[in-house]
Amino acid sequence: MGSFSIWHWLVVLLIVVLVFGTKRLKNVGKDLGEAVKGFKDGVSADDKPKAQLPKDDAAGSEQARSEQTSEDERTPR
């Protein structure tokens, strides 16, 4: 068996282009590139330190969330 030669890969590429068409392959490449970019941005965002909120603001927002939750529980569905 062994490894495939360049001619084998060219035939495979030709078949893929004939089956899917160049427009669809272009769209797949674009979507894949955007996904990789989004992944890199997400990973790099985790490395950066998050901005510290003052304790008063953090407690106030937590209280507002708990009030909203308790109000939602009272509302019949």
Q: Domain count for the chain, please give it.
A: 1
**Whole-number Å distance between alpha carbons of 70 and 12:** 60
In a domain, 53, yes or no: no
Q: For 42-56, give one letter per residue: b (16+ CB within 10 A) or e.
A: eeeeeeeeeeeeeee
**Whole-number Å distance between alpha carbons of 24 and 77:** 45
Q: What is the pLDDT of residues 30-43, one digit of tens each?
A: 999 999 999 998 88
DSSP for 29-50 reads HHHHHHHHHHHHHHHHHHHSPP
Q: What is the pLDDT of residues 1-59, one digit of tens each?
A: 567 899 999 999 999 999 989 889 889 999 999 999 999 988 887 666 656 555 555 55
In a domain, 4, yes or no: yes
